[in-house]
């Protein structure tokens, strides 16, 4: 049987790298051009790329990041919305579009607790990142065969261990360095490996809705994660929480995903941390201890 042709944007990013190392890379014919081959911000470049190409599915994970470790966070909305629009304009060149959205669509300046897809638009985030996720979805819900996946906290190898909490805590454990939390928070954390069967399902099937929260069944506190890391790594690592109480929740409701995939299994958080710890232990040379000392 002929493999489906997939165009993966953002292939050099955290999620993109994991996709290319997963079973999806064997099942599908995945093209993951680098930005110098496909500059999504450049209209002419995008049109030229699609001139003689057709795909079954676009997996759009490419974006200009706006996190605190980003080299350039200017014009986030203009850049990311233009990327989407350039791909949308060429929709005669593919059959399905799967967008990697974010829980930020619910406005992450407030508590997001058990958020349901029907609540999108109740609050529109004031920053460029949140607003872009909202505006992209406004396009997607009017387009046939376009789907938006709202990914909340996601972790795994290749994420930025300088700033991403779970990897940062694990890397610090390797040097018995303390973990500092500004404040305890509750998250819907998804292990990146668990994303892969979900993507396979959305690639292969027609689904009922336009937007899905891609989150596990249970949420977890940052302080609880820190204690699991201590247990897994068997260290005396200190966990310092600077402020009492809880910071803002970042939790999604997965009932729509569960309705589509009732047999979906999520990796136990402790097992996923064990896997990630073993990865960093084997690749300890990639960790810069000086950068770990600077809590970002």
- CATH number, domain of 24, equals 3.40.50.720
- Full-model pTM: 0.95
User: Sign of the CA dihedral 164, 166, 167, 173?
Assistant: positive
Write out residues in the chain with pLDDT < 70, as ranges. Answer: 66-70, 72, 296
Q: What is the pLDDT of residue 290?
A: 85
Q: Tell me which residue range forms the domain holding 270.
A: 5-293
Q: What is the pLDDT of residue 293?
A: 82
Q: Which of 261, 286, 92, 268 is nearest to 171 (CA)?
A: 286
CA 65 → CA 50, 59, 89, distances in Å?
Answer: 25, 17, 23
Phi-psi region of 107 (alpha: psi -120 to 50; beta: other; left: phi over 0): left
What tens digit of pLDDT does each residue of 81-135 get?
999 999 999 999 999 999 999 999 999 999 999 999 999 999 999 899 999 999 9
Question: What's the domain count of the chain?
Answer: 1
């Amino acid at each position: 049987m002929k493999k489906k042709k997939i165009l993966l944007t953002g292939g050099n990013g955290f999620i993109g790298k994991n996709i290319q190392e997963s079973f999806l890379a064997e099942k599908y014919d995945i093209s993951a051009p680098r930005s110098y081959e496909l500059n999504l911000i450049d209209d002419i470049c995008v049109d030229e790329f699609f001139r003689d190409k057709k795909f079954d599915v676009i997996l759009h994970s490419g974006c200009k990041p706006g996190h605190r470790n980003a080299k350039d966070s200017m014009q986030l909305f203009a850049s990311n919305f233009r990327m989407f629009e350039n791909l949308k304009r060429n929709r005669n060149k593919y059959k399905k579009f799967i967008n990697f959205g974010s829980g930020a669509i619910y406005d992450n300046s407030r508590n997001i607790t058990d958020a349901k897809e029907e609540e999108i638009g109740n609050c529109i985030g004031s920053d460029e990142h949140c607003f872009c996720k909202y505006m992209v979805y406004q396009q997607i819900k009017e387009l046939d065969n376009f789907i938006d996946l709202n990914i909340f906290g996601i972790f795994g190898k290749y994420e930025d261990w300088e700033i991403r909490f779970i990897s940062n805590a694990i890397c610090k454990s390797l040097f018995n360095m303390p973990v500092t939390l500004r404040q305890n928070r509750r998250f819907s954390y998804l292990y990146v490996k668990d994303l892969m069967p979900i993507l396979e399902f959305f690639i292969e099937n027609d689904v009922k809705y336009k937007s899905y929260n891609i989150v596990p069944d249970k949420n977890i506190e940052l302080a609880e994660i820190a204690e699991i890391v201590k247990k897994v790594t068997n260290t005396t690592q200190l966990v310092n929480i600077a402020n009492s109480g809880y910071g803002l929740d970042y939790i999604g409701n997965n009932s729509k995903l569960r309705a589509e995939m009732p047999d979906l299994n999520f990796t136990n958080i402790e097992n996923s941390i064990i896997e990630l710890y073993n990865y960093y232990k084997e690749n300890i040379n990639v960790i810069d201890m000086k950068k770990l000392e600077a809590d970002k």
